[in-house]
Structure 1
Amino acid sequence: MKVDLRINGVSRTADIEPRKTLLDVLRENFLLNGAHAGCEHGVCGACTVLVDGEPVRSCLMFAVQADGYEITTIEGLAPAPGELSVIQDAFCETHGLQCGYCTPGMILSAHALLQRNVTPTREEIVEAISANICRCTGYGQIIEAVQFAAERLRLANTPHPAAQAGKSVAEAK
C-alpha cells in the first residue's frame, strides 16, 4: 500500500504493508532512527513522536493511520543542521540524559508541553514526561532540563524594555 506522510515538514511516500507501524516506517523506510524501539507495547515511551503536536507512541500506530497528519521526530526539532533546539540544548546543559535511549521521547514530550505552556509547574512537567520511562537519571535532571528550557523560552519571548517604549533595540543602545 502506498502511504503519503508529512514528516518534519517534508512530504514523503513509501510502499508499505498496511500492518507496518509508524515506528518501523520511520526507522526502516526513512532512516529516522531517533525514535527507539523499546518495549513495543506502548509502555516505555522510547518510540514517542509528535503527531499534530501531540506525543504519540509510534509503536502502537500504523503508518497508514498517520496519513494526513504532521509527524515530528526528534530529528525535526533542530532549527538547522548541526544545531540543537532550546529543549535539546537544555538537556545537554543540565545533564538530563545518560544512556540517551529515552531522551528523544522525553524531549518530544517536553517540547509538546512547552508549546502549550511556557510556564509549567514542576507537577505539570512530571505529568508531561510521566509516560516515558528512564532507567538512568532518576528524572531529577530531566525535570531540571525542562524547567531550564522553559526559562530560556520565556526570556527569548520577553520583549526588550526598549521595544516596549517604542524604540528598536539598536536605538536604545
Structure 2
Amino acid sequence: MAIGIHMHAGALCLVLLSSVQVTALDCNFLKVQQQRFNLQSLKLWKERSAKFPSACLKELTAFSFPSDILEISESRLAMIAVYEILHGFLNILRRDLLGTGLEVTQRKRFLQMLHAQTEVIERCLEERKVTLRGAKGRKTVLRLKRYFQRIITFIREKERGTCIWESLQLEIRTSFTYIDILTKRMNS
C-alpha cells in the first residue's frame, strides 16, 4: 500500500514538474504558438461562413479598427495589442449577445481556445513584467477598448439576426489578419 502511494505521489510530482516546464516554454515559444492559434482560428471562421450575403450589405458596418495599431513595431506593445484583441472577442463571444450561428461544439471549442490563448499571453506579459508604462501602451489599450465598445453597441442596438452575425464574423476574420501582423512583431 505504501509503495502504491509513493508511486502516485512520484507520478504527481512528475506531472507538476512537467507542467511548470511547459508553462516556461509557453512564453519562449509564444510567437509560434500564437501564429498556430491564428491559423486555426482563421480556418474555423472561414469554414463558418461562405460568401457574405448580398442582402446584408446594407447592414454591413465599419467598426473602424484603429489602424495605427498595425504600425506598432515594439514587441511588448504588439503583445499587449494581441492580448487586448483576443480578450475583446472573448468577451463578446462569451456573452453570446447574438445567439451566434456557431454550433454549440464549435463555439465551445473556439471559446476554450481563445480563453487558453489569452491566459498564456497574460501569463507571459506578467512573467516578462510587461506593463502599460508610457502613453503608447495606455493609448493602444484605450483605442482597442473603444473599438470593442463600438462592436458591442452595434450588437445591442440591432436585433438578433443573420446580418449582424455575418458582420461580426467578417470583423473577426479581418481582426485575425491584424493579429497575425502584430504576432510577427512579437519576440519569441
Give the strand-richer structure, 1 or 2: 1
Fold match, TM over 0.5?
A: no
TM-score, normalised via structure 1 length = 0.31
Give the helix-richer structure, 1 or 2: 2
TM-score, normalised via structure 2 length = 0.30
